């Protein structure tokens, strides 16, 4: 049973969803502002979930710019319990990417989503999963943004990504900057690498996450377009 609630301001509807992936289901939170032209799927990493305050903040800014958001858990509850002990599943990029692909293929089954352009926002290992999924789905993905991500873990998928991709890294996140630069060089799509001044890996410094959210919202606003207008 889907829980449907009315939301204020630009959000016309919000509902909890359960996305089928094989024999399992993944819990998610869908929010659709009136007049949305696209939808951004969030790929969390490093043991995070749809309740991540950082991704929740970025999602709100994206919605304010006119695009819908879907935050969902890439792991089932049982898998999360296992991962909290082993920390292995969060680095299983192929598994995370397949879950993201399954969620993307679920979208057309929802009447209010099937005409929306599709983008991915990935953080940490979720950044790699977003790029692998984008490579698998080709031109059906309109844009990708990675925040403090590990695009290097996308490996051989990097040259096959077609979607315009924005990589965002903090200025003081030295190792991750290098890994992003190496991945960036292997990509052939439209791409940008932006460094947030005076920011560390989690963008906890004053104004840093706001900069990330603005960059991401602008990228999606520019690249996501309704399927009906294509």
CATH of residue 37 = 3.40.50.1820
pTM score, two decimals? 0.90
Q: Which domain holds residue 110?
A: 4-229
Q: How many CB atoms lie under 10 A from the CB of residue 84?
A: 12
| Number of domains present in the structure of the chain | 1
pLDDT, residue 24, reads: 85
Where residue 74 falls among pLDDT bands split at 50, 70, 90?
A: confident
Q: Which residues lie closer than 8 Å to 72 by C-beta, 6 or more apart?
A: 17, 19, 26, 27, 28, 29, 41, 42, 50, 103
Mean predicted confidence (pLDDT) in 198-225:
97
């Amino acid at each position: 049973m889907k829980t449907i609630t009315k939301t204020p301001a630009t959000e016309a509807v919000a509902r909890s969803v359960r996305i089928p992936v094989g024999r399992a289901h993944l819990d998610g939170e869908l929010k659709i502002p009136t007049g949305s032209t696209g939808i951004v799927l969030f790929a969390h990493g490093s043991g995070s979930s749809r309740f991540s305050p950082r991704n929740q903040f970025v999602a709100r800014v994206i919605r304010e710019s006119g695009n819908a958001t879907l935050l969902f858990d890439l792991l089932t509850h049982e898998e999360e319990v296992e991962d909290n002990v082993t920390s292995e599943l969060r680095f299983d990029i192929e598994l995370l990417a397949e879950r993201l692909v399954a969620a993307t293929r679920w979208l057309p089954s929802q009447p209010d989503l099937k005409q929306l352009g599709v983008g991915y926002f990935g953080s940490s290992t979720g950044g790699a999963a977003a790029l692998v999924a984008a490579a698998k789905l080709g031109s059906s993905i309109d844009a990708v943004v990675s925040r403090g991500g590990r695009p290097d873990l996308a490996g051989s998928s990097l040259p096959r990504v077609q979607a315009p991709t924005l990589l965002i890294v903090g200025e003081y996140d030295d190792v991750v900057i290098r890994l992003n630069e190496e991945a960036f060089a292997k990509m052939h799509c439209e791409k940008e690498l932006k460094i947030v001044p005076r920011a560390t890996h989690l963008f906890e410094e004053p104004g840093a996450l706001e900069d990330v959210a603005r960059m991401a919202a602008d990228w999606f606003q520019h690249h996501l377009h309704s399927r009906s207008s294509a």
